[in-house]
Structure 1
Amino acid sequence: MTAHRPSRQRRVKTRGPVWLFDLDNTLHHASHAVFPAINRGMTQYIMDRLNVDVDEANRLRVGYTVRYGATLLGLVRHHGVDPADFLREVHTFADLPSMLRAERGLTRMLRALPGRKIVLTNAPTLYARTVLAELGIAKLFERVIAIEDMRAGNHWRAKPDAPMLRHAMRRAHVRLEDAILVEDTRGHLKSYRRLGIRTVWIVGHLPVAKTSSGGLSIRKPGAGRPHYVDRTVRSLRALTLGLRGGAFKGA
């Protein structure tokens, strides 16, 4: 009688986590200098190309970001703006290294996270790869999925577009149930949690909101955590420490 052999499927090891990291205000403190510069650049670009005043330019910039996930998508859809020209103009800086701020020990902390690591950003490829290189962490990520990679033909897409993410994950051979999104934008976390992705809201780099009395409100991790957020952290260090404490079983 031939001995029964376990099937090949039974011998397959459990898949590890796949970390999907946003870039700005997640892997570095973009609110320090980069975001203000990008916002000024976008506003000026809109003023120059659409011949509008600063108030209207700001309204369009913010409105399109809220509506489409990225200002670019609204400008392309409603005003025929050249995407490559826009991305180049607003993400080019005279001295980017001096503008970057990140956590100490960033490389060590990212290396401590088990599993694959991917950058998923609405920023353009050249800017994203330049930032990662300046931070010294480019080699820790197997790929960068930037806004140019989110297109479907001539149709531009961005986070939090759900079909875009499904397509991007298929191309990267990532199961949605294996993915953990680390992101500062709650709207993106909310949309993608519906797909079965686990979510981490990182809040340490976000601008501190002013209270009605003129004081500053301090964000406390875990305070008022939305139901679509699995974990709230102030820093990547807190994320790695949390894993040691048992957060995200299987990660």
Structure 2
Amino acid sequence: MKAVRRVARLREGERVWLFDLDNTLHNASASAFRGINERMGAYMTRELGLEAGEAHRLRQLYWQRYGATLLGLVRHHGVNANHFLHNTHVLPGLEQQLQTHAHDVAALQRLPGPRLILTNAPLAYAERVLGALGLRGLFDGVVAIEQMAMFGQLRPKPDRRMLQALVARLGVPAHRCVLVEDTLAHQKAAHSLGMRTVWMQRWLRAAHTLPGTQNWRRRPPYVYARIRSLQQLRSVL
């Protein structure tokens, strides 16, 4: 993992806020995900010579097994990670599909403590989305999938070792960190380290058939709180 800036001593009441990006800070199901999934399928048929149906099956299988389709492609097919990430996240017109609200910006500004993006998406895509949403200046840094490499291998969420290394680099106790996420598997790993976990459910009704989101009506024991808006974050302090 590339160096993450060590957090200065936290004041009383402050926490380190770790935010997922897609379907947490914006409605990716209605904007980016369709194009990304289509490009992943096209990449696999073109680069691996697969039929469309088999590409779809493997994409879903690797996502469920490894937490990211990319890991399965690297492990079983020798795919170059950077080449895959670049080709699958070229999304013309993405900015016009993204939107945020003034109350979201205000809610983020009010949070006491440093704020970081922690996303399994590539850095260029994350920066592009944050810029289009007008949120880039509200975060102290971005930890994207390229920065989640350990010992020469990618370890994206929900890899517990990556999360543990991140906490160590930040120089704060895990219990002072809050992970705000839409994906339960990622929260389970964070909870096992002692992080406070917040399940963003704002867009789950539209995406509740996705693996890891279908039980959105119940709060698992490893989830500290469920929220449907960023304004509710103050209640998890």
Q: TM-score, normalised by structure 1?
A: 0.83
Instruction: Please name the residue that 2:198 is paired with.
Output: 200
| Per-residue deviation, 1:210 | 8.2
Deviations 1:216-241 (A, max 9, x none): xxx998x421111111111213x24x
Q: CA-atom RMSD, angstroms?
A: 2.1
Q: 1:210 to 1:163 in 2, by over 3 A?
A: closer
> Unaligned stretches of 5+ in structure 2?
1-9
Any conservation in 2 of the 1:22–1:182 contact (CA below 8 Å)? yes
User: Is structure 2 residue 25 aligned with structure 1 residue 31?
Assistant: no
Structure 1 runs of 4+ aligned residues shifted over 6 Å read none
User: Is this contact kept in 2: 1:162–1:191, CA < 8 A?
Assistant: yes
Which residue of 117, 121, 124 corresponds with 1:123?
121
Identify if the C-alpha distance between structure 1 residues 23 and 54 changes in structure 2 by more than 3 Å, giving closer, same or farther.
same
User: Which has the larger share of helix?
Assistant: 2
Do the aligned partners of 1:21 and 1:117 also contact (CA within 8 Å) in 2? yes
Using the TM superposition, give the Cα deviation of residue 51 of structure 1 relative to its aligned residue in structure 2, in angstroms: 0.8
Q: Would the aligned equivalents of 2:31 and 2:94 in 1 still touch at CA under 8 Å?
A: no
Which residue is equivalent to 2:45? 47
* 1:89 CA drift (Å): 0.7
Structure 1 residues 77 and 220: alpha-carbon distance in aligned structure 2, compared to 1, 3 A threshold: closer
Could you say which structure has the larger radius of gyration? 1
Aligned partner of residue 180 in structure 2, secondary structure? strand
The residue aligned with 1:180 is 178
Question: 1:206: how far off?
Answer: 2.3
Instruction: Report the CA distance shift for 1:81/1:13 in structure 2 as closer, same or farther (over 3 A).
Output: closer
From 89, 95, 100, the counterpart of 1:102: 100
Structure 2 SS opposite 1:200: strand
User: Compared with structure 1, are the counterparts of its residues 210 and 17 closer, same or farther at alpha carbon in structure 2 (3 Å cutoff)?
Assistant: closer
In the TM superposition, residue 14 of structure 1 has moved relative to its aligned partner by 3.6
Equivalent in the alignment of 1:229: 223
Task: Give the superposition deviation at 1:128.
Answer: 0.4
Q: Is the 8 A contact 2:13 2:112 kept in 1?
A: no
Q: Deviations over 1:67-105 (max 9, x none)?
A: 111111111111011111100011111112112133443
The answer to whether the Cα contact below 8 Å between 1:31 and 1:207 also exists between their aligned partners in 2 is no
Answer whether contact 2:36 2:91 (CA < 8 A) is retained.
no
User: Matches of residues 1-251 of structure 1 in structure 2 within 5 Å?
Assistant: 13-14=11-12, 16-208=14-206, 223-237=217-231, 239-240=232-233, 243=234, 247-248=235-236, 251=237
Give the TM-score normalised by structure 2. 0.88
Letter aligned with residue 22 of structure 1? D
How many corresponding residue pairs? 224
State the Cα deviation string for residues 7-53 of structure 1 (Å, max 9, x = none). Answer: xxxxx954621111000000111000211111111111111111111
State percent identity of aligned pairs: 44
Distance, in Å, in 2 between the alignment partners of 1:67 and 1:175 is 29
- Gapped runs of 5+ residues in structure 1? 1-11, 212-218
